[in-house]
Amino acid sequence: MPTEIKVPQLGESITTATLARWLKHKGDAVAADEPLAELETDKVTVEVNAPSAGVLAEIAVAEGDEVEVGAVLATLTEGGGKAKPEERPAANPSGGVNPPPRPSGPVARPAAAPPPAQAAATHAALPAAAKLMAENKVTAAQIGAGAGKGGRITKGDVLAFLENGAAAPKAAPAAKAPRELDAGEERVRMTRLRRTIAQRLKDAQNNAAMLTTFNEVDLSAVIALRNEYRDAFEKKHQGARLGFMSFFVRAAIVALQEFPAVNAEIDGDDIIYKHYVHMGIAVGGPNGLVVPVIRNADRMGFAEIEKAIADFGKRAHAGTLKLEELTGGSFSITNGGVYGSLMSTPILNPPQSAILGMHKIQERPVAIAGKIEIRPMMYLAVSYDHRIVDGKEAVSFLVRIKESIEDPRRLLLDL
């Protein structure tokens, strides 16, 4: 009896995903737990595995299509089989999450643009989009062509329409063909994760009264402490390396406990204060920036924090972070210094009210007790939502971090 392969549960509040690519073709023999396809959500890429050994008999969803949790992706039958390249589903002209393994070129999604005579036709809506349209009494004719394959309307198209009204730009206007590519150009569709990152960053700018305050910190004491105890630390804590991040995490925790508004969030007309610190650590992955969360970081020591950060970094590059690890942060830290950034203004990670930006350590002359000395200095930045965090609080918060880093003994004495 055929076994249906369905879209699995994707995590809290996530109901849809994009079928990024098929890893197997129709007619292929597959082993139990072997990956069949990749689903791209707003946060991570998720593999769908075969529940048992068999043959991939039918493929019901094309690459690039949006699917809901529980939707049937394919059917699996018992028995042996072999790959049938001629039956491989047509590659999505718009590209996928991993363009290199698939043919690429100046493809302009011709299937998404109907003939001129059909330019005014009503476009079909995907299930999640149709539900949202019905709830808000919006018609397909009002939205027009969507970003889905063949001009189908996606949930994102409906949300954009509801947010901006009739003036909302159409993601793929039927009457307007994509720009023709010049020699040396290639069109690759943005991944779902990249589109979500772009939307969230723009939402942060539009919705929050965002300001940034700067300071600089002398890392001489931290570097000296790290050099003195690095080997002993690594030996005692089973290979955990003593980096700079654990100092900044601990310093931020101390400052957050002193200035709780920086660790809070706005919910309508209320402020939600959090008596814990779920620390988000921005990590660059192959598909963009992700922010895994160290839960209850305020209860952790240096070694636990270092191990958690190292684990996040490895799994971010491997694409194996879990959805639940990317939600629920109360404050975030991003380190542009690993890429050479000397100074920047980090953008909030909603619904959080603040984010700390670290930067490159650079030796430069500073005045110390009336004398010029060369010190390892770093610029720090805190971006904050002025609706909930006052300027005095933000500046004092950053000064507290500076004091803890310049005299790390304060962290040990809880000062």
Q: Indicate which residues carry an active-site annotation.
A: 386, 390
Q: Are 249 and 305 in contact (CB under 8 A)?
A: yes
CA distances from 342 to 4, 13, 252, 291 (A): 53, 37, 20, 21
CA pair distance 14, 69, nearest whole angstrom? 8
- Residue 297's φ and ψ, nearest 5 degrees, are -65, -25
CA pair distance 344, 72, nearest whole angstrom? 45
CA pair distance 145, 160, nearest whole angstrom? 13
CA pair distance 227, 223, nearest whole angstrom? 6
Peptide bond into 351 cis (omega under 30): yes
Angle (deg, nearest 10), helices 245-258 and 302-318: 110
For the chain, the C-alpha Rg in angstroms (whole number) is 25
What residues does 16 pair with on adjacent strands? 68
CA pair distance 168, 177, nearest whole angstrom? 18
CA pair distance 335, 338, nearest whole angstrom? 6
